[in-house]
Amino acid sequence: MKLRCTICGREYDRPVQRCECGEPVEFELFHGKPYIGKTVWERFYDFWPVEPDPELSLGEGDTPLIRSKLGNELGIKLYLKNETVNPTWSFKDRGTFLAISHAVKEGYKAVGTVSTGNMAASVAAYAAKAGLKAKILVSEEASKEKLKAVSVYGADVIRVKGDYGRLYFKSLKLGERLGVYFMNSDNPLRVEGYKGISFEIAEEITPDYVLIPTSSGGLFRGVAKGFIELFVSGLIDRIPTLVAVQAEGCSPICRAFKEGKERIERFESPKTIAHAIENPYPPSGNAVLKLFREMGGLCVTVSDEEIIKAQAELAREGLFVQPSSATGIAALKKLNLPEGVNVVSILTGSGLKALSTAPLGKVRECSIEKLRECIENNS
Amino acid sequence: MKLRCTICGREYDRPVQRCECGEPVEFELFHGKPYIGKTVWERFYDFWPVEPDPELSLGEGDTPLIRSKLGNELGIKLYLKNETVNPTWSFKDRGTFLAISHAVKEGYKAVGTVSTGNMAASVAAYAAKAGLKAKILVSEEASKEKLKAVSVYGADVIRVKGDYGRLYFKSLKLGERLGVYFMNSDNPLRVEGYKGISFEIAEEITPDYVLIPTSSGGLFRGVAKGFIELFVSGLIDRIPTLVAVQAEGCSPICRAFKEGKERIERFESPKTIAHAIENPYPPSGNAVLKLFREMGGLCVTVSDEEIIKAQAELAREGLFVQPSSATGIAALKKLNLPEGVNVVSILTGSGLKALSTAPLGKVRECSIEKLRECIENNS
């Protein structure tokens, strides 16, 4: 097991969580070939840093890739990678599964995470499955709706007063001392788990662009590493252009990208409806910027208005996603892509996760006696 | 295309929705062999009454079968069929997909359903995908939470005052006249779609018992027909014992079963936390009773208290389901099954669907300065 710092390049023989320089580490590139198998874990067995333990699985991954009509107007072939059908209804489950497999193998009795939404529920669920204790650190602002969806799994939910960004680093340090394996947003095993999204896409189509809602940068890094590994293994001919999408109201990575900087800066007073990607100081921000320099790519911001519109458009195709998951579609119109290209947008989490903030559509009233008129009358 | 009444046996050459005697019709038995394929629709191509149209699919089916520890104490091998990871997060999507494929093929421009929960969202989503209008008739009591999850797909949501049971039949008649294809709970194509659950189970294990949350009877009939068709096709050696599970507070089928009757009677003043299976006069009730007489099986009732307990036990294994979906596990303890048998419980829908009624677990408060103590201190 060899890890390398994404920024300074320092190498580690043990599975540290971050480099001494403060930047994220990552596993070296895996090479391999695909096998026949039911799950992505089996088919891409050569590419995981830890043996995926079926006993700890909740059936994550192997999600549908759906052809969308939303690309027709733009003359592109659009596909939606529906991660909302994972066991806790977000892409986080792929990373949590690998990170939990690692924690169990290393003998940890407790795991943790810093999150208020998708990742919190995911870690709580997989810890329950594995019989581990889970310490879930949530922010003061966590809504009752979100806390319910985490506490149901029996996790120890701790609402922490104080700077949420500091909590990321403090939890890692405390975890090391207390024997709690914190699998935060860009944990190296978590990033490896997200590669499965790229593997599954490549099994079905040859994408030219992949749109990735980007917060911590963990998902972006995982998807990038997945395609790079397929390429160096000779399994695909070219690596698609990756597009990081952020909300205008919280876009530290896109701002640095636009200004040609190598380092992100904290985004002050973040504000967006897309709470799941509202990270003002993404821990993998610099690593994502470095990937842009090495492999090209784009960073696009979208407004809350555009996000809400895209969310409605997706629902009109039968896919109800949370606001952050609609950012890829919102970005599409701004990109001016060449005609005929294959584009994939990753739908990261279910709309049911943020139902309390969703608008109530029109509901008509009718008596059973007047039913015929009500059905005929097209509102 | 040949359909037969489940009760009186009368045959039909066209796809009627119900027999003239008022009872449900069903397609004749399909025979066939399995193929290699990515989706259950491809692998069991011989067994569907209509060509499944990939253009109309949202990626339903092919859900995980997960080994559970909840059977260990009872000495049985327990598996959970996780239908909560379908595109609208319930098993309904399998049936809706086939029924929509049929409606499109027949040239309908509008579809409809009578439902307040899972089926309403499912029909709204698939209609959106197919570009059809959707008329969703909901009851007066429908909560805002449920209406949101339906209206988001752009359906025409009509809240109907009056007897909900009558609405089932009235909608079918009106639909015929108005050119709206109503795909209600036990629509014959819907029932065919549920067979995929049996097919997928049989691909992985040889079950001895299958626990089925039962409301209208549509799911039960679909699962039964699936196993029967595998058996007559020589693909399995034996048909498992099917167990219908109902909530004590609304158990018309189990009551008739216990009293040895051939016909169900309306269950007066139904009351249960498991709203998704709270049907006081299930349209396929008599058809389910007939299946019991022909192939054996069991009908078990569970209390709300037992349901809530089972829901918590499932969450402690990482699977958050709605109350109705926990009834199978609640029933398990009452069944006194022989040691070593393979048991499957079908988890029909996501816990996020009824989040507003879910309890909020314990949440501790902590300052970032005291984080160490908070993590060490085991609540």
Query: Which residue, among B73, B96, B93, B75, has the nearest Cα to B85 in the 3D structure?
Result: B93
The pair of structure tokens assigned to B149 is: 């999850």
Residue B99, in any domain of the structure: no
Residue A34, in any domain of the structure: no
* Cα A95 to Cα A60, A180, A196, distances in angstroms: 9, 17, 9
The structural domain count of chain B equals 1
Residue A126, in any domain of the structure: no
Residue of B nearest to A169 (CA): B368
Give me the domain span that covers residue B224.
Answer: 65-89+188-357
Residue B365, in any domain of the structure: no
Among A174, A181, A320, the residue to mutate for chain B (most B Cβ within 10 A): A320
Residue B231, in any domain of the structure: yes
**Rounded Cα gap, residues B354 and B161, in angstroms:** 23
Q: Which of A59, A133, A152 sits opposite B64 (nearest CB)?
A: A59
Query: Which residue, among B371, B327, B26, B80, has the nearest Cα to B197 in the 3D structure?
Result: B80
SS3 at position A371: helix
The reply to whether residue B355 touches residue A87, judged by beta carbons under 8 angstroms, is no
Residue of B nearest to A122 (CA): B318
Q: Which of B64, B171, B315 sits opposite A153 (nearest CB)?
A: B315
**Rounded Cα gap, residues B316 and B329, in angstroms:** 13
Distance from CA of A258 to the nearest CA of B (A): 34
Residue of B nearest to A357 (CA): B148
Mind listing the pLDDT tens digit of every residue in chain A (379 residues)?
Answer: 799 999 999 999 999 999 999 999 999 999 999 999 999 999 999 999 999 999 999 999 999 999 999 999 999 999 999 999 999 999 999 999 999 999 999 999 999 999 989 999 999 999 999 999 999 999 888 888 899 999 999 999 999 998 878 899 999 999 999 999 999 999 999 999 999 999 999 999 999 999 999 999 999 999 999 999 999 999 999 999 999 999 999 999 999 999 999 999 999 999 999 999 999 999 999 999 999 999 999 999 999 999 999 999 999 999 999 999 999 999 999 999 999 999 999 999 999 998 888 888 889 999 999 999 999 987 5
pLDDT at A358: 85
Among B73-77, B174-178, B358-362, which is the least confidently predicted range? B358-362
pLDDT at A170: 95
In sequence order, what are the beta bridge partners of B25?
A: B5
The reply to whether residue A148 touches residue B355, judged by beta carbons under 8 angstroms, is yes
Residues of B in contact with A369 (CB under 8 A): 162
| Banded model confidence at residue B46, pLDDT cuts 50, 70, 90 | very high
Averaged over B72-93, what is the pLDDT? 97
B170: CB partners within 8 A, 6+ apart: A368, A371
Find the farthest-apart pair of alpha carbons in chain B and give their distance in angstroms, rounded: 75
The reply to whether residue B361 touches residue A154, judged by beta carbons under 8 angstroms, is yes
**Rounded Cα gap, residues A110 and A204, in angstroms:** 38
Residue of B nearest to A171 (CA): B371
CB pairs under 8 A between A and B: 255
Over residues B158-181, the pLDDT tens digits come to 999 988 788 999 999 999 999 999
Chain centre distance of CA B98? 14
Do the beta carbons of residue B110 and residue B142 sit within 8 Å? no
The reply to whether residue B362 touches residue A151, judged by beta carbons under 8 angstroms, is yes
Residue B177, in any domain of the structure: no
Distance from CA of A277 to the nearest CA of B (A): 20
**Rounded Cα gap, residues A323 and B254, in angstroms:** 43
Give me the interface pTM, i.e. the ipTM: 0.96
Over residues A123-146, the pLDDT tens digits come to 999 999 999 999 999 988 888 889
* Cα A284 to Cα A280, A293, B93, B180, distances in angstroms: 12, 14, 38, 52
Residue B379 pLDDT exceeds 80: no
The 10 Å Cβ neighbour count of residue B9 is: 10
Distance from CA of B372 to the nearest CA of A (A): 7
The pair of structure tokens assigned to A223 is: 């998807």
The reply to whether residue A364 touches residue B156, judged by beta carbons under 8 angstroms, is yes
> Over chain B, what is the mean pLDDT?
96
Q: Are strands A363-367 and B11-12 parallel, antiparallel or unpaired?
A: unpaired
Over residues B223-241, the pLDDT tens digits come to 999 999 999 999 999 999 9
Residue A8, in any domain of the structure: no
H-only helix segments in A3-39: none
Residue B18 pLDDT exceeds 70: yes
**DSSP annotation string for A109-169:** SEEEEE-SSHHHHHHHHHHHHHT-EEEEEEETT--HHHHHHHHTTT-EEEEEES-HHHHHH
**CATH code, domain carrying B193:** 3.40.50.1100
Over residues B120-149, the pLDDT tens digits come to 999 999 999 999 999 999 988 888 889 999
Residue of B nearest to A181 (CA): B375
Residue B350 sits at the vertex; the CA angle it makes with B361 and A305, to the nearest 5 degrees, is 90
SS3 content of chain A, % helix, strand, coil (to 5): 40, 20, 40
SS3 at position A189: helix
pLDDT at A184: 97
Residue whose token pair is 């409606």:
B103
Over residues A212-264, the pLDDT tens digits come to 999 999 999 999 999 999 999 999 999 999 999 999 999 999 999 999 999 99
pLDDT at B163: 81
pLDDT at A379: 58
The reply to whether residue B159 touches residue A363, judged by beta carbons under 8 angstroms, is yes
SS3 at position A79: strand
* Cα A242 to Cα A23, A75, A204, A333, distances in angstroms: 21, 19, 18, 16
Residue B310, in any domain of the structure: yes
